[in-house]
Structure 1
Amino acid sequence: MLLSLLDRSRTRSGRSDAEALQATVRRARRAEELGLHRFWVAEHHAVPGVVGSAPTVTMAAVAAATSRVRVGTAGVMLPNHSPFVVAEQLATLVALHPGRVDVGVGRSLGFTAPVRRALGTASADGFEDRLGELLDWLHGRGPVTVRPRVPAPPVWLLATGSGLATAARFGLPVVVGGSLLADPAALQRYRERTRHARVTLALDVLLARDEAAARRELLPQAVALARSRSRGEFGPLLPPQEAQRADLTGRERADVERTLAQTVHGDEETVAARLADLVHRTGAVELLVSATPFAEDAEAENDTRVARLVARLRTGG
């Protein structure tokens, strides 16, 4: 079982956007020191709480600051970009950092209507055509040649239920999370249709001395997500004590609880049992962990604890 990190360049209350990106690079260095397999970044636009708006640029910064860990995206949102330009950017990264570049692609649109207008993306219609075009460019099958000419990097699909069918049609590995983790039948259908099936689980994992302590660390991101869904405001992470006092509607509080229920958190034995069960039920070969505590030192401690736990599970300890 491989362990990787997804960092969304989350902003924190009282800190600047620039500090969030700098923290992403520091986290990548720590991930490499811990011996993690991949370090992936994300794509969000005009969101105060998430400032990773240019994933290939962030990948370049991360790759330049490290030397061994694989660098990728979860993901590049194809409705927002020309597949040819994405292929050129990825080829440039491969030329500069051979053997270390991955790409996860998704179909999400901008967070709000004004963002979608700014991006020029009204819908995700035609996603499969764009995906096929990207793969053609990367593998040298386009009407012109992408430069620099380099081997195509591995491509993953960020998959929902319908996304699994798309991945099967293109023969791509998948990154899955959320409700799909409770639907092994859907994953089995994907495997039956895909010659080289491969599943990566994306989930929030938080290790602490007990469940209450882990919940406190996860609460800021759960509150931010609940507010974003009901108010259209995805703000910076609050300190845990402020998140506990946050003025939420009943609907938002229910949303917080649903979000926390989808995480894996608690003490080491609880988390180990949950992870082992998820891996067994889904047949995943990789964990892509994405929890973001408010304090950077708490984030670093959690990354270290999770790395040690997965190493223990890997050896059957």
Structure 2
Amino acid sequence: MKRTEIEKLLGQIESLDAEEISKVKKVLARREGRVEGSVVLQEKEESVEACPHCGSKDIAKAGSKGGRRRYKCKAEICGKSFNALTGTPLARLRMSEKHIENARCMAARLSIPKTAERLGVSWETAFRWRHRFLRLLADRQPEQLAGIVEADETFFRESFKGQRSGLPRPSKKRGTPAASRGLSKEQVPVLVARDRASGATLSKVVKSTKAKDLEPVLMPRLTKDAMLMTDGASAYKTLGKAHGVAVKGIPANKGHKTSGLAHINNVNAYDERLKGWMFPFKGVATKYLQSYLGWHRWLDADKKSGKARRLLRAALG
């Protein structure tokens, strides 16, 4: 746009009323979102180095389709074409210009209906996009937990929300209390382990709180010199003895008072934040619980502004 045209446009903006200014802001916000999203996709295109089908680095540009650059694998055993999103959770999703706004909705923890309304898409589309974005976050755990590591379990009610057939029990109305008070088979255990120094957090759905089910999740990530602080459960003592890791059990403490370094207040605080964050969703289906744990883990660790672009990058891997 020429300078004279820009000056003329700015002059016209000065004469707008409040309602017209509001409309202009919405248009500019959508435009800004498309630009921000295109920047992330461009970064992804520039990082393409190998064929996602066979791994060959012998690739060449092959024009574009739908505004997205395409590539062709020159390996004889492959020869397939692809784009930057091929092999990622966002492959074949339409309306890519709205993906950055979907990331904003997720950063703000909006519900599926509110997300669908803001994006101008159906409920089913908003649901599918959310879980595509969460696919990589679900299993993204810290590679290492060192120093003082606090570990504990928290529990969520088993839920078959959204499931219409194959239920192992009769469906229940939302809000129906558990048949048994306290811990029971109706509660799904989640192991939470937190590195006190770095804040790196492991959160994983486990079959039970027995040592055999905690071991493959927790022990490969603990360094040999780690000190494991727990609530005194025997499973951790068993694992510590088997793997040569120091374990200290902390007696129940209603006031959460500390005795020097001996406490598990960090992991308890994380569990409280997690439960509070989950509450507005009014129950998460157990089959999607790990995805929501990854979502919360990512948001809890990212304290900076502008989360939407980083969330979109994370969804693309």
TM interval, short-chain normalised: under 0.3
Larger radius of gyration: 2
TM-score, with structure 2 as normaliser:
0.27
TM-score using structure 1 length = 0.27
Larger % of helix: which? 1
